Each structure stands twice: as C-alpha cells, then as structure tokens.
Amino acid sequence: MGLIKLIILAALVWVGLRFWRALQHQRTSQQTPDQAPPDAPVMVRCAQCQVHLPQSRALRAGDQWYCCAEHRDEHSDS
C-alpha cells in the first residue's frame, strides 16, 4: 500500500512541475516579442519613397533620411 501512495505522490509532483514549467515558458514567450534583439539594426524611413532601411545604409540630409542619393537630391530640389 505504501508503494502505491509513493507512486501517486511522485506522479502528482511530476504533473505539478510540468504545469509550472509550462506557465513559466508561456510568460517568457509573451514578453519577448515586444523586445527587439540587441543586435537588431536601427531602421529609418526614406523621406521620398517611404521605404524602410537600416540606418547604416541610409543617407542623411538634415533631419531626414533617404535610401539613395537620387531621392535625397529630388527631395531637396522640391
């Protein structure tokens, strides 16, 4: 009789641990989509065509960003 109680107790502990781990995993997975990865590039939008591109590839004129020199020149002429 004691062995059966021990097996049932062990099974209940195992189910409880699985349930607790699933809750913890669900909580952490809900928090991560809002946070950008630390190595994600900063994205900017071209003032002429509105396309998004990494800041490292964009051209800046004043407080505006552009995807290429042609767009920068066209936007500054108008």
CB neighbourhood size of 45 (10 A): 15
Three-state SS letters, 19-41: HHHHHHHHHHHHHHHHCCCCCCC
pLDDT at 3 over 90: yes
2-31: average pLDDT: 91
What is the predicted pLDDT for the residue at 34?
57
> How far is Cα of residue 3 from the mean position of the Cα atoms in its chain?
49
pLDDT higher than threshold 70 for residue 32:
no
CA distances from 27 to 3, 21, 30 (A): 36, 10, 5
pLDDT at residue 17 is higher than 90? yes
